[in-house]
Chain A
């Protein structure tokens, strides 16, 4: 499959070269839902500005949706939608007017802009409120309006900068559900966030950056492959299980704080042997699961294995 975005050797410095916002970043992503993870100041916003053709890199090249951003920095914006992190909406106009105006600015003919603005506002759940001035909107409604304006011109890729910032847990859940829906419609999304949970629950690809450098990239599933650690819950009798396993199978297991037991497994035959050992010892098998790596773990430098 043709990559959605190809970033090669991207370097951007500020303040006369003393601040390196991006440092030889090379990464390629495919269409889909992509999480761009990094702490504040990791270079996410700089990368967005370069993708939008609003900032010129010191070195390297970027191709998005088939366009070399260096060659056509204005044209690339026709194919991208952008949702900034901060408040950015004109407050004294209605959501319908704002979104349709921004649709026209993206190049839609006026009639299509009005029609699509109304459709998209409906899609993000603002069907009733769209004729009210944005002044009276809650944070959640503003975030939805911001998302709607990014989608109105049917972009090839939508850039979302911290879309869940400032939302309460319910609002955050709804926003992520909306992003997942976009994925089902076949819209590609690049979502910058510092919340790994959001990416883990929403995105099928991950790009992790820190200090302007690539930390890791790939499909979320691949990165979160089984860590080779089995977790067994025998209802508070973990110590007994450790004894049994050490005695019969020669496996070095450990009891966790919650009373469950963790042990390394090589393959499925070990799994069967463990289940058999639990049954022989007359222990109740409450739960048996393989511990998965978390993005947090990956980000902090613990490998999947």
Chain B
């Protein structure tokens, strides 16, 4: 027992002068532990999703999508600026609620980014490497879903900010615009968060089930489209164009060739589905409870609940208990997806 291994603090044999070996320095600082590991994985996943530290080809697509999602907001602010002194400025062509629908284009981003952030970890067998760090399976899921959801949130929230600030500056009085649109200040972030979290969790859950990015992306697309076609078909065959309750509609009169100076006109659709009190009629899409099965529209239903307190999106509009149904489907998909993810990355066996 003569050979005593060199102690770590003295730097080993190098300090004894026998062998000089350059290159290794012990780390004297503190290690961040579990929160730092979670944060590092979150950061790395965001970088990967938006293509930072990757080739221009991998940067191109995310930034193109950000542009696509922002262009309408910028164009609309421009239009509002040009027409600011004409009567047309009274018309709101696009509302914040509708703009969240525009953000559904970001689904393409989610469908590509989520598999790209999750599948290679399993395919390259990187998971054992990640889980040899102070990280649990749940931390992994939180970091990955959080990263995708954050990017989607940012990409759909920024154009809304552009829209809001732009409209505020273009309007006659910024203060009036602000006080007239106070509700938007909570509706937009909450609606955007609900939208981002929903699609990110679903896309991540599907990506966790395969090692092939293409299969994950295709599966997500097929699931959403199939459910949408399925819901539309069933609603059209079983639903009635009736709304169960009196239902206000507001419509730009120009749509019907009217005079834009008339301002918005409205009508009321009675419980029998007939227009009761106006001189135009609206062809309502048939609605039924099956409309809630449209997984593509679920975040739009929830958005309607946030912005309007009732659903106006096709196939579920005016359905009895449609709001509760939409929230139910939303919760099932969100928590189901998170459940699948936690199960797929349960690294610590019992």
Give the most central of B1, B13, B23, B134: most A CB within 10 Å.
B134
User: Chain B residues with Cβ under 8 A from A33's Cβ?
Assistant: 5
A97: interface (CB < 8 Å): yes
For window 104-155 of chain A, which residues contact chain B by CB distance below 8 Å? 104-110, 112, 116, 119-120, 122-123, 149, 153-154
A278: interface (CB < 8 Å): no
User: Chain B residues with Cβ under 8 A from A105's Cβ?
Assistant: 36-37, 40-41, 44, 130, 133, 135
User: Chain B residues with Cβ under 8 A from A92's Cβ?
Assistant: 54, 120
For window 21-58 of chain B, which residues contact chain A by CB distance below 8 Å? 21, 23-27, 29-34, 36-37, 40-41, 43-44, 53-54
User: Chain B residues with Cβ under 8 A from A88's Cβ?
Assistant: 124-126, 128-129
B6: interface (CB < 8 Å): yes
Known pairs A97-B53, A106-B133, A186-B8; A119 contacts B25 (CB<8 A) = yes
Contacting residue for B31 out of A31, A101, A106, A182, CB 8 A: A106
Known pairs A77-B133, A82-B132, A185-B14; A109 contacts B29 (CB<8 A) = yes
The A-B contact count (CB < 8 A) is 154
Q: How many Å from the CB of B56 to the closest CB on chain A?
A: 14
Q: How many Å from the CB of B29 to the closest CB on chain A?
A: 6
B262: interface (CB < 8 Å): no
CA distance in complex: A24, B43 (Å): 42
Number of interface residues of B (CB under 8 A): 51
B7: interface (CB < 8 Å): yes
Q: How many Å from the CB of A209 to the closest CB on chain B?
A: 21
Evaluate contact between B5 and A31: CB separation under 8 angstroms: yes
User: Chain B residues with Cβ under 8 A from A52's Cβ?
Assistant: 131-132
A166: interface (CB < 8 Å): no
A102: interface (CB < 8 Å): yes
Would you give 21 A-B contacts (Cβ < 8 Å), ordered by A?
A31-B5, A54-B131, A73-B348, A74-B34, A75-B134, A84-B132, A89-B124, A89-B129, A92-B54, A101-B40, A104-B36, A104-B37, A104-B43, A109-B36, A112-B29, A119-B24, A120-B24, A183-B5, A184-B19, A188-B5, A204-B5
Q: Which residues of B contact A (CB under 8 A)?
A: 1, 3-8, 10-14, 19, 21, 23-27, 29-34, 36-37, 40-41, 43-44, 53-54, 120-121, 124-126, 128-136, 347-350
5 further A-B contacts with Cβ under 8 Å, apart from A78-B33, A88-B124, A183-B5, are A53-B348, A105-B41, A123-B23, A154-B26, A182-B24
